[in-house]
Amino acid sequence: MKFMAASISAGYLFKGSDWMEEKKKKNDGLRDAALGVGAQDVVDKFGSASAEYIKGYKGSVDEAGNIISKGLRHISESKVNPDFEYQNLKQQAGFSAERHFVSKENAENIIKGRDIRYSRSNDVGLGNDQRIDVLAVDIDGNPITVNGQPLWSAQMKFCGKYETPQEIKESSEKLAKELAGDKWAKYRGNKVLVPSEQYEHVKKYATEEAQKLHEKAAEFRQNGNFEKAELLEQNARKFEQVAEDVQNSGISSKEAMFLREHAKLATAKYVAETANRAGIEQAKTGAVISATISVSQNIISVIRGEKEIKEALKDTAIDTAKGAGTSYIIGAGGAAIKGVMQTSSNSIFQNLSKTNMPAMIATVSLQVGKSIVRYAKGEINEVELVEELGEKGTGMMAASWGAAIGTAIFPGVGTVIGGMIGYMTSSTIYKSAIQVLQEERVSIERRNKIHALTEAALEAMNKQRRELSILIDNHYKNRQILFEQSFEMIEKSTESNNLELFTTALNNIALEMGKALQFKDFNEFDTFMRNKNMALEF
């Protein structure tokens, strides 16, 4: 009895453990679905930002393969004259810097929710403008103008060496002088974007030069040389204008050269950095969502007596941390996926990138990864792995659809709730379907077992019948004639309605089998019926 009680108790504990494990898996799936749906805004924003870097790399070509807009890829394939390698590379690095500036600024404006975009003058039909390399455009790519002039425009100047601090200082001073000279007078009054390592040097040098010229002009004026003083004042104003015009491009000369020589690697780096920002941004939101879900679940567990308050608080903290980590992966992965889908030449992928599909793909990938790890650890078998993958795939698809409906009804909160409902509904349907399949599979197995048992029983029965026949043949061969005669007598008695003959035949069979009938004829039966003291024997 003790053994049985222990076995039953162990069985219940095992079932309880399975139930708790199943509940945990369900809660994890529900949480991931909510986090995936909740990541849509961040994925949209940072995914579109990532797409800007990819577009900057690809450029654009027409159906015939002609370049419409040069991307980093095209620039990196430019020819280089061995006799002028450094000069060629520096010039091409400047073009790469233009391309990257546009991509970077557009990405930042998308992240910050601004409507202004930037484009190269070549890409908006202005050709190789003498004063403008980049300018402000609207979301559709049309130049934004005020009184016929660009709202914002700039020239880019990436000149000089940059390997040592001395080279940077000398290159910066040379650039300031050239901008203040007559040759580059056309650029004055317009913004000039310079390498980040030169910006402070150029501005400082131009300011100091202007101050020196003003001081010299004052000396000449005091000496009565007004013409020389005016000339110096004009030059001073040129340097002042240079100090005002120069802007930090946010791109170093070294970075520009890296863009020229390693365009693909550089693009991957910027997409990864943007995805990382998306992950960090989403981790904050994910922590809040996970904490909210976990608090609700743990309060219920405490009320039901399934957990102590201390354990519930600990689990909430763990769930919050897990949610932040999961959200980082979903946010970062979703942003990268959206960036790729948005820049695809396939219109289907472009359209899907506008939905919450990228976030769902990232979420499904995360959950699939969890299932594969469980399989690798031996926690689940091949069949359970396939079933988990199926449930997670259908669950996330339903979460995606539910989120779309929830967003239409109540943007924000409705998006998350809709996704959670969609996930739960689909998972329930999928589990029911799997249960039916499992039951059917069990039924088939049971049927096969029963069929096997039946076949075995049939074979045994046939064998026993054969043995019985042999036994009868050996022991009851002499009775065969008697039985045949008796059955003939019974048949004749029924035909002639002869009760005495019928009784005699039955009595012969009974005697042969070792028994005797209580009534040999009708008269004995009639006597029995009239005698109250006689009893019927069975």
Report whether pLDDT(22) > 90. Answer: no
Three-state SS string across 132-190, please? CCEEEECCCCCECEECCEECCEEEECCCCCCCCHHHHHHHHHHHHHHHHCCCCHHHCCC
pTM exceeding 0.75: no
Instruction: Note whether 92 and 158 are within 8 A (CB).
Output: no
Give the pLDDT of residue 91. 93
- CA torsion sign for 361, 366, 368, 372 is positive
Helix axes 522-530, 499-512, angle to 10 degrees: 90
Lowest mean pLDDT among 126-130, 149-153, 296-300, 302-306: 126-130
Tell me the two tokens of residue 466: 């054969």
pLDDT at residue 297, rounded to an integer: 78
Query: Is the pLDDT higher at 191 or at 341?
Result: 191
Which residue stretches of 39-164 are H helix?
40-58, 72-76, 85-111
Q: What is the pLDDT of residue 421?
A: 42
Which helix (H) or strand (E) segment is 117 a member of? strand 117-120
Lowest mean pLDDT among 56-60, 113-117, 360-364: 360-364
pLDDT at 529: 56
Q: In the predicted model, is pLDDT for residue 238 greater than 60?
A: yes
- Is the pLDDT reported for residue 518 higher than 90? no
Q: Which tens digit of pLDDT belongs to each residue from 434-461? A: 454 455 555 556 556 555 655 665 566 5
What confidence score (pLDDT) does residue 433 get? 47
Strand pairing partners for 425?
Answer: none
506: CB partners within 8 A, 6+ apart: 486, 490, 517
Instruction: Decide if pLDDT at 538 tops 60.
Output: no
Q: How confident is the model at residue 418 (pLDDT cuts 50, 70, 90)?
A: very low
The pLDDT value given to residue 215: 95
Residue 345's pLDDT is what? 78
Residue position matching structure tokens 């910066």: 172
